[in-house]
Structure 1
Amino acid sequence: MSQTLYNFKRIHPVPTSSDFVDIVLSRTQRKTPTVVHPGYSIGRIRQFYMRKVKYTQETFEEKLGLIISDFPQLDSVHPFYADLMNVLYDKDHYKLALGQINTAKNLITNVGKDYVRLLKFGDSLYRCKQLKKAAMGRMATIMKRQKDSLGYLEQVRMHLSRLPSIDTNTRTLLICGYPNVGKSSFMNKVTRADVEVQPYAFTTKSLFVGHMDYKYLRWQVLDTPGILDHELEERNTIEMQSITALAHLRAAVLFFIDLSEQCGYSIETQLSLFNSIKPLFGNRPTLLIMSKSDAKQLEDLPEETQNMIKEIENSGAAKLSRLSSYLDTGVMETRNMACELLLQYRVDTKLKGSKIKENLNKINLSMPKKRDSVQRPSFIPEAVIGKQRYDMNDPNRRILERDIEAMSGGAGEIDEDEERIIKLAKSIRTKKQILAQQSRLKNNVNRPKVTNKIRATKLTAQNFADKLANKDNLDTINNTASNLLSTSAKRKRSLSVANKGLGDELARMGTNSGAQFEQRAVSVSRSRVDAGLKNSSMLDTVMKKHAKVQRKSNLLAKRGESDRQILTKMPKHLFSGKRGNGSNDYR
């Protein structure tokens, strides 16, 4: 893992030893052939079991190799992460666990190779099967011995996945100091992080990372747990995380002290901690930040304490700053000061490095020298000046489009005919819009449409009375009524005959729903009679053909879209060959 930004969340979970064996053997069973018979040739039997052993060996190697490659190697990662993992997990225990996994991988490889070599000389199916069984048993035994190592690595993986992703080379502000001096409050003010803030010590127990923007650059702010002033050997795991960050990260150090002593530690004790860990700062930019300035100012302290703080600034060990996260005073000023110091420090470091010499040799800065005393002021051509700005009173300027328009009479003079045409066109458009809206309103009205024939003869009550008073018209109405009655009687007789024919047809087809079909046949027969069928026999023939054609469609209509369609009920590859009862697998 040579990259600078580490993402430990990508490490795959580590199964337990028993789960490991189950996963590998189950995969072998699924991915390799499962049927072998004594009648096969001995070469085929050997290949069958050799394939089983070889596949199991390769699967174990793949899974174990993935574990070894996923976990960071302490010798190849950044020293900050190497020391942090040593603090959190004990470097020796971690290396021992990974070493045992690597040893198990090599042992499984040797077991697989040895038993594949023995299987080449197997003389029967029984002997080959026993060799395969012994090989897989030995591999499983090796894995079960790694129970403790696998469990430890899974715990390490779960803890690593919770660590923040810290970029060791980016611009970083490192916040440190005694517990409960206002470090996390400042972190929440300048970044988008949300670190827990409580009025008691050691609220922050691990490293927290926040990000902010300054001068269009992305900055990283690291909040560390509180540190107490005692020997290095006596510091616990929480404090050692801060010490590790101070020792390895190239960042601007912001050391917080509480002048009000509300944190529970005196100012002298806090300054003593600053002096004891000052060697860890190196030459990096350092700020001594006096927090909680709303409670007490530097001028309110005794003169002796003020001299101790000012001496740190005079010696060049750190620059002083004061802020109050409660009143939001001095927060942004402190942040900007720290960022500027770190930017200048990074530039100076690059100038002192060895790479800058290679780049400076490629840069040549030419400075012209004066050859005489003649004054040569800058000259800008008029064409360029004309493109930049125009002096409308300059007679020598180039002619613009607005000048041409002014020469033609200007924008305000319009011909009377042209103005009249514009008004007329506007009125025409308005009239068309009104007509279109009226047409839409007419079409939207829900009323029955009257034909032209009925519109032509306007029927009124008086006209209807006059026609009824005429004897000839009354005879015509009576004749029409008698004709309609005879026609309806004929239609009833024809429908009864048709229904009788359909009933006979249903009896021959064996349909149980005769009543429903008879009701449906009435509507069908009426349409056919209206279509011009001669008699009931012709209707009977038509209905027979109709039922025959619809038979397949009726069967298919019983199936919905979600039902499975099985085109072949008995596939040949599933129902052919010699197999015993209950054996339906084929490979």
Structure 2
Amino acid sequence: MSLAGRRNATGAFQSIPIVPTSDEHLASALKRAGRIGPNTKLKNEAARARNKTARQMDELVKAISTPLGACVKGFPAAERLHPFERALLDLTIGLELYEKRLARLTSLRQSAVQVGKAYAARAGKAANKKEAEALGVEGFENVAAVYKKGATAVDGLKDMAKQLRRLPVVDLMLPTVALVGAPNVGKSSLVQILSSGQPEICDYPFTTRSIKMGHFYVDGRRHQVTDTPGLLNRAEEDRNAMERLTVSCMAFLPTSVLFVIDLTGQCGTSPATQWQIRADLRARFPNKPWLDVFTKQDLLQDVHAQAQGAAATEQPQTLGATGSAVDSDAGAGNELLEEGEGGSQVVADLESHERVRNADREASSLMEASETAAKFSWNDRGKQGLDAPTIAAALSQAIWVSSVTESGLDDLRSAVLRMLQEQNKQEPDYPEGV
């Protein structure tokens, strides 16, 4: 498959063939071979018996070999899968076990063919009718014995196919917003809020919870929004399958990230630990479109007000004691707009300058908070000062929302729209190796 093909090709598991049970397959093969009758054109009894037995063994080999071969070919090669589907395969089955089961089925097929062909050849050389018929009975029994000995390969493949076909299909052509964060911070509720309709429920075999996926439109273009399993503050090699699904979603899909933080700590993860999770992901995926969201604003009104006050105080200090520089730039822009000469360029320049200022402010705040966060481990539970107000001040551009009072939901929708409109102007940023 070409590079572009791998980028856009998903749903490979949905085309996996239906695998019969080993009992059904063997019974069907024996029945088909047993229907082969004698060739009436042959007048010699021994010749007719030799011919019949040889053709029965050939048919038995074909009835076993062809379906098994089709099954093996129907399973996609792991190295040709889209990286996200390859990650799902590893999480659901395991890459090593996947290859092992396919190899076992191929080995069973080859063994059955070898035994069947050997009996067909012996039957063709039988001295008389009795010997030919005896070889037929013996051949059927031995081929069946070989098959039954390796029947677990067939049944294992059937179970594997069933699991893989159940995996949800992700449309790579649709931009995706992934809600990421610690467990129980409110990601699922936000999916419901952002979706234009009822979100779909996506079940993954290796998770203990369902994943909600909704859709909405930006400038007439359809987008996906999905929650993800919660992340704990631990090393990548220690993550469970659910956490690895979240990381795979960020690594291999063209996602924008809404990082959801519960500063109350009622989710079971302290604000300091949530900060560490965020810092780790931000460092790992620095080029992802990113929006921070604080939930449960109704329980954090004092912290919210304090953060707003700090942001209001900080802005004039960054832009100037009175903000006159901005006022002057804006005035110049208005004058040019009135005159109709280059006003658009001035406004664009102003917007660009403001984005740079905002980025500088966030970078400065993040650096200060990161130095504090670096002192923490999973058991620190927000000691040494990295508390809710500190994090709120560091992420001054974050959106505050409450699903109870519905405060900030319109701001969240607007921020998501702006982020996606900007992203849609750019070419998809596919991960390396896709």
TM-score by length of 1: 0.52
In the alignment, structure 1 residue 254 sits paired with structure 2 residue 258: yes
Map Cα deviations across residues 299-353 of structure 1 (whole Å, 9 max, x no partner). 256877444344356xxxxx52222223334335424433442443354336999
Match of 2:76 among 68, 72, 95: 72
Match of 2:165 among 158, 161, 168: 161
* Residue of structure 2 in register with 1:115 after alignment: 119
Deviates most, 329-338 or 136-145: 329-338
Q: C-alpha distance in 2, partners of 1:141/1:193?
A: 53
Q: Partner amino acid for 1:252?
A: S
Rg: which structure is higher? 1
| Contact residue 177 and residue 226 of structure 2 kept, 8 A | yes
Q: Partner amino acid for 1:14?
A: V
Map Cα deviations across residues 196-255 of structure 1 (whole Å, 9 max, x no partner). 8xxxxxx97254433233322221222211111122232222222212222211210111
| Contact residue 246 and residue 280 of structure 1 kept, 8 A | no
**Residue segments in structure 1 that go unaligned for 5+ positions in a row:** 197-202, 314-318, 354-587
Aligned pair in 2 of structure 1 residues 7, 211: CA closer, same or farther (>3 Å)? farther
Give the CA deviation at 1:154. Answer: 2.9
| Contact residue 57 and residue 112 of structure 1 kept, 8 A | yes
Aligned pair in 2 of structure 1 residues 351, 204: CA closer, same or farther (>3 Å)? closer
| Contact residue 290 and residue 323 of structure 1 kept, 8 A | yes
Q: C-alpha distance in 2, partners of 1:204/1:332?
A: 32
Q: Partner amino acid for 2:283?
A: P
Aligned pair in 2 of structure 1 residues 351, 65: CA closer, same or farther (>3 Å)? closer
Q: Partner amino acid for 1:154?
A: K
Deviates most, 129-138 or 272-281: 129-138
* Residue of structure 1 in register with 2:65 after alignment: 61
Q: C-alpha distance in 1, partners of 2:305/2:155?
A: 57
Map Cα deviations across residues 116-151 of structure 1 (whole Å, 9 max, x no partner). 333332232222223333333332223222233333
Give the CA deviation at 1:167. Answer: 2.0
Match of 1:323 among 391, 401, 404: 401
In the alignment, structure 1 residue 239 sits paired with structure 2 residue 243: yes
Q: C-alpha distance in 1, partners of 2:123/2:258?
A: 68
Map Cα deviations across residues 41-62 of structure 1 (whole Å, 9 max, x no partner). 5444333222211111111122
Computed over aligned residues only, the root mean square deviation of the Cα atoms, in angstroms, reads 3.2
Map Cα deviations across residues 17-40 of structure 1 (whole Å, 9 max, x no partner). 33331122123335x337989964
* Residue of structure 2 in register with 1:299 after alignment: 304
* Partner-residue secondary structure (3-state), 2:168: coil
| Contact residue 204 and residue 225 of structure 1 kept, 8 A | no
| Contact residue 184 and residue 223 of structure 1 kept, 8 A | yes
Give the CA deviation at 1:63. Answer: 1.7
Aligned pair in 2 of structure 1 residues 289, 122: CA closer, same or farther (>3 Å)? same
Q: C-alpha distance in 2, partners of 1:147/1:274?
A: 48
* Residue of structure 2 in register with 1:24 after alignment: 29
Map Cα deviations across residues 408-463 of structure 1 (whole Å, 9 max, x no partner). xxxxxxxxxxxxxxxxxxxxxxxxxxxxxxxxxxxxxxxxxxxxxxxxxxxxxxxx
Map Cα deviations across residues 46-100 of structure 1 (whole Å, 9 max, x no partner). 3322221111111112221232133332111111111222122222122111110
Match of 1:218 among 195, 218, 222: 222
In the alignment, structure 1 residue 311 sits paired with structure 2 residue 316: no
Q: Partner amino acid for 1:23?
A: S
Q: C-alpha distance in 1, partners of 2:175/2:144?
A: 50
| Contact residue 80 and residue 248 of structure 1 kept, 8 A | yes
1:32-111 mapped onto 2 (5 Å cutoff): 32-33=36-37, 40-111=44-115
* Partner-residue secondary structure (3-state), 1:163: coil
Q: Partner amino acid for 2:171?
A: D
1:126-137 mapped onto 2 (5 Å cutoff): 126-137=130-141
Match of 1:183 among 181, 187, 191: 187
| Contact residue 253 and residue 284 of structure 1 kept, 8 A | yes
* Partner-residue secondary structure (3-state), 1:348: coil
TM-score by length of 2: 0.69
Deviates most, 41-50 or 164-173: 41-50
Q: Partner amino acid for 1:222?
A: T
Answer 1 or 2: higher relative contact order, Cα 8 Å, separation at least 6. 2
* Residue of structure 2 in register with 1:466 after alignment: none
Q: C-alpha distance in 2, partners of 1:351/1:207?
A: 24
Aligned pair in 2 of structure 1 residues 339, 249: CA closer, same or farther (>3 Å)? farther
Aligned pair in 2 of structure 1 residues 352, 91: CA closer, same or farther (>3 Å)? closer
* Residue of structure 2 in register with 1:344 after alignment: 422
Aligned pair in 2 of structure 1 residues 335, 155: CA closer, same or farther (>3 Å)? farther
Aligned pair in 2 of structure 1 residues 346, 212: CA closer, same or farther (>3 Å)? closer
| Contact residue 176 and residue 224 of structure 1 kept, 8 A | yes
Q: C-alpha distance in 2, partners of 1:93/1:102?
A: 14
Map Cα deviations across residues 164-215 of structure 1 (whole Å, 9 max, x no partner). 111234211111111111111111222234578xxxxxx9725443323332
Map Cα deviations across residues 340-394 of structure 1 (whole Å, 9 max, x no partner). 42443354336999xxxxxxxxxxxxxxxxxxxxxxxxxxxxxxxxxxxxxxxxx
Q: C-alpha distance in 1, partners of 2:27/2:132?
A: 22
* Residue of structure 1 in register with 2:330 after alignment: none
| Contact residue 175 and residue 224 of structure 1 kept, 8 A | yes
1:126-525 mapped onto 2 (5 Å cutoff): 126-191=130-195, 192-194=197-199, 205-297=209-301, 298-300=303-305, 305-312=388-395, 320-349=398-427
Q: Partner amino acid for 2:405?
A: L
State how many pairs are aligned.
341
Q: C-alpha distance in 1, partners of 2:136/2:77?
A: 35
* Residue of structure 2 in register with 1:384 after alignment: none
| Contact residue 254 and residue 428 of structure 2 kept, 8 A | no
Aligned pair in 2 of structure 1 residues 331, 8: CA closer, same or farther (>3 Å)? farther
Aligned pair in 2 of structure 1 residues 34, 339: CA closer, same or farther (>3 Å)? farther
Aligned pair in 2 of structure 1 residues 295, 180: CA closer, same or farther (>3 Å)? same
Map Cα deviations across residues 526-547 of structure 1 (whole Å, 9 max, x no partner). xxxxxxxxxxxxxxxxxxxxxx
